[in-house]
Each structure stands twice: as structure tokens, then as C-alpha cells.
């Protein structure tokens, strides 16, 4: 049985007439990388602020380790990067991390390991002001890890980075997770969650639309792209097929969305039996983006 680290129950935050987070319930279990996914203004940062005890909830509750540990004690086992890295520019990477250790009341022993993990060991004696934005972000992740937390919370960790910096942060998150740390990553980037996370919680306007595995969210029955010399005959065939839900036309290609499991080989044989000779035939799955738009649209309909 997986160890439950954090559980939210009907957590709500209102700012006057604005409901930033609306009755949010979810749970985080040890060993996963969770993506808190939603557009800007969806309530991600407010949610993180509440569990980190810097924003007071309006109603609802959250508990750590099945309620066996107080929030004050639990936060000692949490590492967080919520805002832009804030270090002393005239101190070295090593000196800044030593200062963080003093604040967190933890040993210096883990500093070397974390600097190596974030690939900054060779720059340990360089002043912070000489670091690129990507290096500053990686040093901030090292700072969040010096107390060897059970849970690492990251709020939009790749914002403002170039493609190389984004790639490094994403690979670093995967490495951290493989070493046993649970990660909660808030992001508005579908691509980031798809490539980095095992689980996803979808928020929009403070409301949860989905909670579960990323691959389960993306597990739809997909769609077929088809074309032939007589697309009207093909369209009529698709319209009458019991396993095809909706049909769209795009650049001369017919797109048939599948409502239940449909084997591509069997489907192709059925088309041939109707004496339709295809010039294009391809089965695809819906992207995370398409699934995200579909499920948020359904909830609001």
C-alpha cells in the first residue's frame, strides 16, 4: 500500500467575491510525480500557498501523512521552489546553500550531493550573480533538496528558460523522482506535464476537472485519418459505422473519432468489403492537449 503524503478535502479559498480554489479534494502518494495543470489563474499557486501554510484556507482542510503529523512538522519534510530564486548575489553557490541549511536547521552534509545532482559542483565557488537563469533555477532546486525532503513542490520551474534550460530542469525532475522523492509540479504547460509527470490534477477556474494517471487521461480510443478518391462514399460509410462517433474533414482528409475499441486491421478490412480503396489510412491517439480541452469543455457544458 502506497504511503499517502498529503490529502486535501474540499479545500476552498475565496478572495472577496472571487473563488480562487473551489472545494478541491485530492491526495498525493509517495513515489509519484504529480502535475498540477491549469492555465494561469486556475488556482494552482493558491493551492500550493495553502498547503505550505502561507495562505489561510476559507474552508475545507488538508492533512499530512494521514493526519499523523502536524503541518508544522510535515513542512520540515517538504522542499519548495515557489518564486524566482532569491539568493545573495555576492555569495558563492556553496555559501548560499550553507546559509539555507542554517535557516532550515539541517546539516551541511547533503550540499555536495545536491550540487552534483543539479550539475553545479564545478561552479560551487562561483558567485551567484555570475549564474545564468537556468543555473540559478537549478541551484534553487538544490536548495529545496538540502533537507532531503519527502516531497518537492515546484511552481512553474521552467518559466523564462531557453529550450536547453527547460530540458535540463525536466531531466532533473525525473532524476529526483527516481531517487525516491515525490514531486508536485505546478505548470500551465501541457507538454511539460506529459513529458515529466506520472499523474496529473487538472484545474480550471479553481475547480478540479481530472485527477489520475497521465497515461489514463491520454488513453482514449483515438481517431482514424482516412482518404480515398470518393470521399463522399467514405463519409457515408463512416457515418453509418457503429464504432465511429464524430467525423471531421481537414485538408481533404476525413477524421473519424472512435467511440470504443476498434482494431485498425479489422477496420481496414471492413472498408475494403465496401469496395472503398483508400489512399490514406492512419490511426492516431488524442494528445494530452486535446484531452485537456475536451474534459474541461464537458465540465463547463
Residue 58: per-residue pLDDT = 97
Instruction: Determine contact, residues 2/66, Cβ cutoff 8 Å.
Output: no
Residue ranges for the chain with pLDDT beneath 50: 301
* Mean residue pLDDT across the chain: 90
Q: What is the pairing mode between strands 78-81 and 151-155? A: parallel
pTM, entire model: 0.77
Per-residue burial over 55-69, b = 16 or more CB atoms within 10 Å of its CB, e = otherwise: bebeebebbbbeeee
What is the 8-class DSSP label of residue 92?
B
State phi, psi for 176 to the nearest 5 degrees.
-60, -45
Distance (Å, rounded) from C-alpha 161 to C-alpha 86? 16
- 244: helix, strand or coil: strand
Within 8 A by CB and 6+ apart from 151, the residues are 5, 6, 28, 77, 78, 79, 181, 182, 183, 184
Characterise 120 by phi-psi region: left (phi > 0), alpha (psi -120 to 50), beta (else).
alpha
Structural domains in the chain, sorted by start = 4-218 (3.40.50.300), 223-284 (3.30.70)
Residue 137: per-residue pLDDT = 95
State phi, psi for 257 to the nearest 5 degrees.
-85, 130
To the nearest 10°, report the CA torsion of 249, 217, 169, 54: 120
Amino acid at each position: 500500500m502506497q504511503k499517502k503524503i498529503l490529502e486535501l478535502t474540499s479545500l476552498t479559498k475565496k478572495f472577496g467575491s472571487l473563488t480562487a480554489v473551489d472545494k478541491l479534494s485530492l491526495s498525493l502518494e509517495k513515489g509519484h510525480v504529480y502535475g498540477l495543470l491549469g492555465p494561469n489563474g486556475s488556482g494552482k499557486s493558491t493551492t500550493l500557498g495553502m498547503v505550505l501554510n502561507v495562505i489561510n484556507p476559507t474552508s475545507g482542510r488538508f492533512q499530512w501523512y494521514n493526519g499523523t503529523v502536524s503541518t508544522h512538522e510535515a513542512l520540515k519534510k517538504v522542499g519548495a521552489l515557489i518564486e524566482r530564486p532569491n539568493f545573495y548575489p555576492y555569495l558563492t553557490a556553496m555559501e548560499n546553500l550553507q546559509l539555507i541549511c542554517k535557516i532550515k536547521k539541517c546539516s551541511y552534509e547533503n550540499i555536495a550531493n545536491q550540487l552534483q545532482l543539479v550539475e553545479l559542483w564545478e561552479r560551487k565557488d562561483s558567485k551567484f550573480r555570475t549564474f545564468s537563469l537556468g543555473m540559478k533555477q537549478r541551484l534553487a532546486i538544490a536548495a529545496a533538496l538540502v533537507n532531503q525532503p519527502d516531497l518537492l513542490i515546484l511552481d512553474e520551474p521552467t518559466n523564462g528558460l531557453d529550450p536547453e534550460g527547460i530540458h535540463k530542469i525536466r531531466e532533473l525532475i525525473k532524476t529526483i523522482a527516481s531517487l525516491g522523492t515525490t514531486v508536485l509540479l505546478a505548470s500551465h504547460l501541457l507538454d511539460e506535464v506529459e513529458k515529466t509527470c506520472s499523474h496529473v490534477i487538472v484545474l480550471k477556474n479553481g475547480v478540479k476537472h481530472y485527477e489520475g494517471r497521465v497515461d489514463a487521461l491520454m488513453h482514449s480510443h483515438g481517431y482514424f485519418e482516412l482518404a480515398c478518391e470518393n470521399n463522399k462514399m467514405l463519409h457515408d460509410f463512416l457515418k453509418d459505422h457503429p464504432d465511429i462517433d464524430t467525423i471531421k474533414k481537414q485538408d481533404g482528409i476525413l477524421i473519424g473519432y472512435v467511440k470504443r475499441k476498434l482494431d485498425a486491421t479489422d477496420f481496414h478490412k471492413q472498408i475494403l468489403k465496401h469496395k472503398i480503396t483508400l489512399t490514406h489510412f492512419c490511426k492516431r491517439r488524442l494528445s494530452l492537449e486535446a484531452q485537456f480541452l475536451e474534459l474541461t469543455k464537458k465540465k463547463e457544458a
